[in-house]
């Protein structure tokens, strides 16, 4: 079914096979046919995964495979009930978002400026805008050229679910974006009739895609080229990493979670609370540095 109906890749099929074979071996060891296993066998299996020290993410993947397996059996009429319905899966602990250091951001922007031709100004503009505003990649590439006005410190951005929010854009980022536009205009072939450069279109970051603007994939490659030019590991750099760096560095300099929620466009403060670990680290460092009884305190 996974192969014929869903067109699953070979690696996906191998992963499902491995997950199910592990459960089959456990069920047979319990004296139960795998396809006839009940909720108690499922619970014992999940407990066994925990005893073996399997991560919550691994256990969740095992349970997902079992849910699809037993739903398949029910649809095919091979059993009448699904023993996984009431089986709660483990909740992986939220991981601390990855961010690069402030010095690495500056090095990245300097590296971007070294890229040849129009790609240099374009990469600098993308980095400045991502880092000064925390924009998502999809939000950045869809910025209209008319969004950056000299007399407007805020830019309207359409985020997830079509919701709009206002984000502040620094003068430095605005100037970088204008420089990128000038570089793009300079490389454009002049129109045959007027001899003037062809118009760049409505997007701040134009591209050849059907949408008319740069794709997220092209943006990611541009940032990786900037990382290589800066002597940084390109695997550490992406639009999402710049977004996390924006949030982490703001918190490190005293911003509060509610402000960060608005700037990032999170609908729920719970999504923003993953950054509380950044706050905890900052508070711990403050206590260690300034509390009279802390090691190294004054």
Structure tokens at 65: 């495979």
136 is catalytic: yes
244 is catalytic: no
Structure tokens at 263: 């700037």
Concatenating the DSSP letter of every residue in 81-139 gives --TTTT-PPP-PPPPPPP---HHHHHHHHHHHTTSSTTHHHHHHHHHHHHHHH---HHH
Catalytic residue among 181, 224, 243, 249: 243
Give the separation between CA 213 and CA 206, rounded to whole angstroms. Answer: 4
Give the separation between CA 255 and CA 285, rounded to whole angstroms. Answer: 16
Catalytic residue among 114, 158, 172, 240: 240
- Pick from 57, 31, 27, 64: which is nearest to 44 by CA? 27
Catalytic residue among 71, 160, 163, 258: 160
DSSP single-letter state for residue 55: -
Token pair 């029910």 is at which residue?
Answer: 74
Give the separation between CA 283 and CA 259, rounded to whole angstroms. Answer: 18
275 is catalytic: yes
Which helix (H) or strand (E) segment holds residue 154: the answer is: strand 154-158
249, 241 contact by CB (below 8 A): no
- Pick from 232, 230, 225, 234: which is nearest to 117 by CA? 225
67 is catalytic: no
Catalytic residue among 136, 213, 224, 244: 136
242, 131 contact by CB (below 8 A): yes
Active site residues: 136, 160, 240, 243, 266, 275
């Amino acid at each position: 079914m996974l192969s014929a109906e869903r067109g699953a890749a070979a690696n996906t099929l191998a992963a499902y096979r491995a997950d199910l074979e592990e459960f089959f071996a456990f069920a047979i060891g319990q004296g139960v046919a795998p396809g006839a296993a009940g909720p108690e066998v499922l619970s014992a299996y999940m407990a066994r995964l925990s005893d073996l020290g399997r991560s919550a993410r691994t256990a969740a993947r095992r349970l997902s495979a079992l849910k699809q397996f037993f739903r398949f059996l029910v649809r095919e009429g091979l059993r009448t009930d699904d023993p996984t319905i009431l089986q709660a899966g483990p909740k992986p602990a939220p991981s601390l978002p990855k961010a690069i250091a402030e010095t690495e951001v500056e090095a990245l922007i300097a590296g971007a400026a070294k890229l040849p031709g129009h790609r240099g100004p374009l990469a600098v503009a993308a980095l400045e805008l991502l880092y000064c505003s925390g924009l998502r990649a999809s939000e950045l590439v869809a910025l209209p050229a008319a969004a950056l006005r000299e007399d407007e410190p805020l830019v309207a951005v359409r985020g997830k679910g079509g919701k709009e929010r206002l984000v502040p854009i620094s003068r430095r980022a605005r100037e970088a974006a204008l420089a990128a536009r000038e570089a793009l205009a300079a490389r454009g072939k002049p129109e045959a009739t007027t001899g003037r450069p062809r118009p760049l279109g409505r997007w701040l970051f134009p591209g050849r895609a059907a949408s008319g603007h740069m794709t997220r994939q092209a943006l990611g490659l541009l940032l990786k080229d900037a990382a290589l030019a800066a002597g940084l590991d390109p695997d550490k750099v992406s639009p999402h990493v710049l977004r996390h760096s924006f949030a982490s560095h703001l918190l490190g300099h005293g911003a509060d979670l509610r402000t960060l929620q608005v700037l990032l466009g999170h609908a729920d403060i719970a999504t923003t609370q993953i950054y509380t670990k950044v706050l905890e680290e900052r508070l711990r460092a403050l206590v260690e540095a300034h509390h009279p009884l802390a090691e190294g305190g004054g």
